[in-house]
Amino acid sequence: VALTRAEAAALDARDPLAGFRERFVIADPHRVYLDGNSLGRLPRGTRDRLHRLTGEWGEQLVSGWHEWIEAPTRTGDAIAEVIGAAPGEVLACDSTTVNLYKLVHAVLDAEPELRALATDRDNFPTDRYVLEGIARARGLELRVFDSDPLHGPQPADVPRDALTVLSHVAYRSGARADLRAFGGRIVWDLSHSAGAVPVELDAAGVELAVGCTYKYLNAGPGAPAYLYVARALQDRLRSPIQGWFGQASQFAMERPYEPAEGIVRFLAGTPGILGLAAVEEGVRVIAEAGVEALREKSVALTELIIALQDEWLAQLGFELGSPRDPGRRGSHVSLRHPEAWPICRALIERADVIPDFRGPDSVRLGVAPAYTRFVDVWDAMDRLRGLVERGEQREVDPTPARVT
Ligand SMILES: *Cc1c(COP(=O)(O)O)cnc(C)c1O
């Protein structure tokens, strides 16, 4: 065998990050959670912080804003540290979708020579929807190109005369793009990489990026997302949503709108302070563990999934839907199977393993190196193998669910 369970347990015993698991709420130790790339676990520190913060709200009421007002930039600076950006280049606010909308309009306003928008067909749906809407509103062409399904978009796919939106790690296959290899005007979506995969925005010369915080950054359902604008570009861009939080002197209420200096001009309305506190706490744990150490463990965990896939699952009709080269992969592995949807149901209902299903045929297994153990991967793969050998996927209700 690739590895026995005892050997997997030995890897956990030697794991320098093992202690970080205790920093998270583990409500059910039997459950194997491999969906931290959809919604990360709750850090214990976040629970305490939110409790303290509601206390502050209750006591301080409106005077709490003297401190809260800094939260979007302070939290942005904390995120900057884990995505290779400088202080003042990242702002925590709104959702990824809204941030993408703001940046795309801002670039098109500043650079009228960009006559088209572009993205790849496999990109995350919300990115495509935002671009479709902006293309329609501005009368621009949207070029949706087909990329290699396993390896994701390549530098040669990117048109030079368009503004392109790409994911750093593809949500279905897990393919990871080499940021340094790409040229042209690109907004990168870091949702599936930040917190598990090193992202060196400044070093790679990236100009624009967005991302969410509730996946590997563990900030909780609907926590504020972030946007990144390289310092050199900031003065030239204006948010298409002119709101009072992005205004130069916010409390000189009668003045006409004039964008604030720096990244804060991308704020729109009142930021969600509770959510921002959760982002700050989630990012703190990731920064403490260190992205390099997390990456090393993530690679080892995904390598274990692939080794067990080859040994146990290939003969049961599974096919690897992610790159084999760990250098080209993010922190999840997709296993393709014609019965992927009922297999996911059966895993959840009968095996207490939480993956997610990504159509048309992928069982997606995400490893969050801050808390996923080698035995978790081993157990999940073992339960998956047993379930498919017994044909249990044919015994569950195959009706598609609203959330998969
Ligand atoms: C999860 C994810 C999002 C989420 O967008 P929200 O607006 O924050 O819901 C966006 N893009 C990608 C690539 C994602 O994986």
pLDDT tens sequence for the chain (404 residues): 679 999 999 999 999 999 999 999 999 999 999 999 999 999 999 999 999 999 999 999 999 999 999 999 999 999 999 999 999 999 999 999 999 999 999 999 999 999 999 999 999 999 999 999 999 999 999 999 999 889 999 999 999 999 999 999 999 999 999 999 999 999 999 999 999 999 999 999 999 999 999 999 999 999 999 999 999 999 999 999 999 999 998 887 778 999 999 999 999 999 999 999 999 999 999 999 999 999 999 999 999 999 999 999 999 999 999 999 999 999 999 999 999 999 999 999 999 999 999 999 999 999 999 999 999 999 999 999 999 999 999 999 888 777 77
Active site residues: 124, 189, 214-215, 364
* Ligand 1 neighbour 101 (Cβ under 6 A): no
From the list 148, 160, 95, the residue with the least C-alpha distance to 122 is: 148
Distant-in-sequence, close-in-space partners of 372: CB < 8 Å, separation ≥ 6: 33, 34, 36, 301
Give 21's DSSP letter: G
Query: 5 C-alpha vs ligand 1 centroid, how far in Å?
Result: 35
Nearest to 163 by CA among 227, 225, 112: 112
Provide the token pair at 78.
Answer: 């904390």
> CB within 8 A of 121, min separation 6: which ones?
144, 145, 146, 147
55 C-alpha to ligand 1 centroid (Å) = 31
The first and second tokens of residue 7, run together, are 């050997």
